[in-house]
Homo-oligomer: A and B are copies of this chain.
Amino acid sequence: MAPGKTNFSSHEFPMASGASPFSYRTNSAYQRRVVRATKQLMHAVVMEKLQVENGSIFQITDMGCSIGPNTFISVKNIVESVELKFQLINTQKKHIQVLFNDHAYNDFNTLFASLPSDKSYYAHAAIGSFYDRVFPDKSIHIVNCSYGLHFLSRVPKNVENRESLAWNKGKVYYSHSKEDVISEYSKQYEKDMECFLNARAQEVVPGGLVFITVPARPNGTPHSKVIYNMLADILGSCFLHLVKQGDIEEEEVDSFNIPVYITSPIEVEEAIKRNGSFSIEKLEILSKETSPINGLTAKDASVHIRAITEGLIEEKFGTKILDKLFQLHEQKLEDAYLDLISGEAISLFIALKRKTNL
């Protein structure tokens, strides 16, 4: 893919920007738990596995960085580990450059306005989808992608095709739908992972590292038993409620789907092996306790889902239904609370190393 590609699919997630009370920034506090949980894991991999080559510039990228503050915490953790590693192996002086990556519609103004004043790295932004090439060949030493890869690059085509067996009529999400729909989402995830891994395989130096953290589904657990998915499915029922009340058309709901997929350890492992460019250095399941959605009130959980989906919904339905939709959502989450807390909510941390013998 040429670096020139900047026409992103309209289905990429425009996270609510800094000004909204439902903004990703305000609500990402929950995701910080995961960032903290991965700190020690990343530190160990940097110390044990990172191969430091010659050259005076060391480049780290946080892909799908959104608007902060989580990206600053992740980056600080990685930079501290890297600096310690440099000290221990007594390498030549290196300049650390951090490239904050997200697509062009991310609110970089908010991100830049809150860059830490005491940072010890050069701060750059790199524009583009992480499913495409973003950097030159062999220019990146560490990639971090935290809570990004469950966002698909697009809604699977057949899911919105009335002629297809996989048409997702009456739903806005895959987890509680028929097998054909789940299968389309799963295939799209496979394609997207291959795009991500293939692009990174070219960009990361041999011996360089890729850290991935994603919400996940335990192997063998049905998609419908994952809390994240249950929250999204309940949002779907709220859309149908608005159809009944005449606020929106049934056809609009039939042609709207949320491009998120919750993977499992086995699917991630298969994707990495299929790609073949990386060795798996660590694959660790983070418990429900570290999950962003663990212990949320119905209100908080609804606000969390709103922060992630608001941009997409607005694009399809305008702003007028938003408040009503999420009031309803909060209420339904309240009613379903006992069900919800019995669901699964693990995250997955994976550390990859770019193979050197390719």
Contact = CB atoms under 8 A, between A and B. Distances in A.
Interface stretch (A133-141, A251-259, A297-305): A133-141
Interface stretch (A3-11, A227-235, A239-247): A3-11
Interface string A1-21: 011111100000000000000
A6 B135 CA distance: 25
Interface string A21-54: 0000000000000000000000000000000000
A104 B109 CA distance: 7
Contact of A108 (B57, B99, B109, B139): B109
A185 to B, nearest CB: 29
Contacts of A126: 122-125
Given A109-B109, A112-B108, A120-B3, A95 B136 contact: yes
A193 B108 CA distance: 29
B3 A136 contact: no
Contact of A125 (B3, B5, B108, B137): B108
A123 B56 CA distance: 22
Nearest to A120: B4
A118 interface: yes
A121 interface: yes
A127 interface: yes
Contacts of A322: none
A84 interface: no
A6 B105 contact: no
A177 interface: no
Give the residue among A3, A104, A112 with the most B Cβ atoms within 10 A: A112
A120 B120 CA distance: 31
A139 B99 CA distance: 15
A117 interface: yes
A4 B134 contact: no
A7 B108 contact: no
B124 A115 contact: no
29 contacts: A2-B120, A3-B120, A3-B122, A3-B123, A4-B119, A5-B117, A6-B116, A6-B117, A6-B119, A7-B117, A56-B136, A57-B136, A57-B139, A95-B136, A95-B137, A95-B139, A104-B113, A104-B115, A105-B112, A107-B109, A108-B112, A109-B109, A115-B127, A122-B134, A123-B126, A123-B127, A124-B124, A124-B125, A124-B126
